[in-house]
Amino acid sequence: MFFVLFSISVLVFLIFFATPGVDPAARIAGRNADQLTLQQVRASFELDKPIPMRYLSMMNHLFVSQDLTSYVNRGAKVLPQLTQAIPATLSLVFGAAIIWLLVGIFMGIAAASSKRKWMDPTISFLGIVGISLPVYWLGEVVNLITQSKLHNSVFRWVPPLGYVPLTQNPWQWFLHLIFPWLTLALLYAGIYIRVLRSEILTVMREDYIKTERAKGAGEKRILYKHATRMSLITIVSLFGLDFGALVGGSALLTEVVFGIQGVGKLTFSALQNFDLPLIMATVMYASFFVVLANAVVDILYAVLDPRVRRV
């Protein structure tokens, strides 16, 4: 776990400081800066020191003294910016996750088990559409519908884009987030429907299901007690990874489109400004979540799948 985090920090550092042909000083100083300015920038940002020293110094400021400051807004500390952005991202991802899990599990089971002939193709089609939608475009379409002409009639209750903290006004928090939730959830619902459906169909072919049938167990019991339970193990591991990545900043496109000041948007603006300390902080935070999610998934595996526990 530590190894992965360490490697990622080195990787990010190298991407921004050691990519052949990239001169961070020129990025910071702006276009057409003269040699003198460049030298001043190098000295002031410690860019004239060797790369390993700069890496150590940055890690020291980030983790030990926790007073890493931004390159762009000189003196502005990086960590408070990050901690301010986390609640917005968590709100967005939590709400969306509840929706996509409910929709995904319900429709995935329905597609795999329904006796009605039209059900499986219809749900599978919805799943394909879900995974093929560009989330940022869907967000713009939602904005077009809710914020434009219809805003004066049907969607009068939709507040303008942005984010209101839960602690400040729970109702407004909910209203601001309902469409971002639905937008983000649609893509993942598509993935989960497809995965759960094919998992259930695979498990249904296993020998022990045949044994259950031979023992006279009802189809309902087989579906829920055995097939769905086994399939949920895959869903849990998938969910852990997706959730970790989203909290870590992958919700960026949704945040940008809906004007939510979350971690993703913060990372994106940091990237555009080449604000390496901020990038470093957000990326370390993001990969920490991904690695943590991986670990939690491994533990949940043991809870859900008795075979792993026994080993």
Q: Which residues bind another protein (CB under 8 A)?
A: 3-5, 7-8, 11-12, 15-16, 19-23, 27, 124, 128-129, 131-138, 140-141, 143-144, 147-148, 201, 205, 245, 248-250, 252-253, 256, 267-268, 271-272, 274, 279, 283, 286-287, 290-291, 294
Which has the closest alpha carbon to 196: 224, 158, 155, 161?
224
Beta carbon nearer to another protein, 172 or 198: 198
Cα distances (Å, whole numbers) of residue 309 to 43, 76, 301, 304 = 56, 48, 8, 9
CB of 291 to another protein, least distance (A): 5
Which has the closest alpha carbon to 160: 143, 139, 145, 174?
143
Helix (H, G, I), strand (E, B) or coil at 185: helix
Beta carbon nearer to another protein, 143 or 231: 143
Beta carbon nearer to another protein, 231 or 250: 250
CB of 34 to another protein, least distance (A): 18
CB of 246 to another protein, least distance (A): 8
Beta carbon nearer to another protein, 95 or 139: 139
CB of 146 to another protein, least distance (A): 12
CB of 122 to another protein, least distance (A): 14
CB of 183 to another protein, least distance (A): 13
Whether residue 192 contacts residue 238, with contact meaning beta carbons closer than 8 Å, is answered with yes
Distant-in-sequence contacts of 152-158, Cβ < 8 A, 24+ apart? none
**97: Cβ–Cβ under 8 A, 6 or more apart, which residues?**
185, 188, 239, 243, 246
Beta carbon nearer to another protein, 231 or 287: 287
Q: What gap in Å lies between CA 86 and CA 166, rounded to an integer?
A: 13
Tell me the H-state helices in the chain.
2-17, 24-29, 35-44, 51-59, 78-113, 119-132, 135-147, 170-204, 207-215, 219-221, 229-245, 252-258, 263-272, 276-304, 306-310
Beta carbon nearer to another protein, 173 or 282: 282
CB of 58 to another protein, least distance (A): 16
Beta carbon nearer to another protein, 103 or 286: 286
**242: Cβ–Cβ under 8 A, 6 or more apart, which residues?**
188, 191
Beta carbon nearer to another protein, 170 or 241: 241
Element counts in the chain: helices (H) and strands (E): 15, 0
Tokens of 114: 């329904």
Q: What gap in Å lies between CA 280 and CA 309, rounded to an integer?
A: 37
Whether residue 139 contacts residue 187, with contact meaning beta carbons closer than 8 Å, is answered with no
CB of 127 to another protein, least distance (A): 9
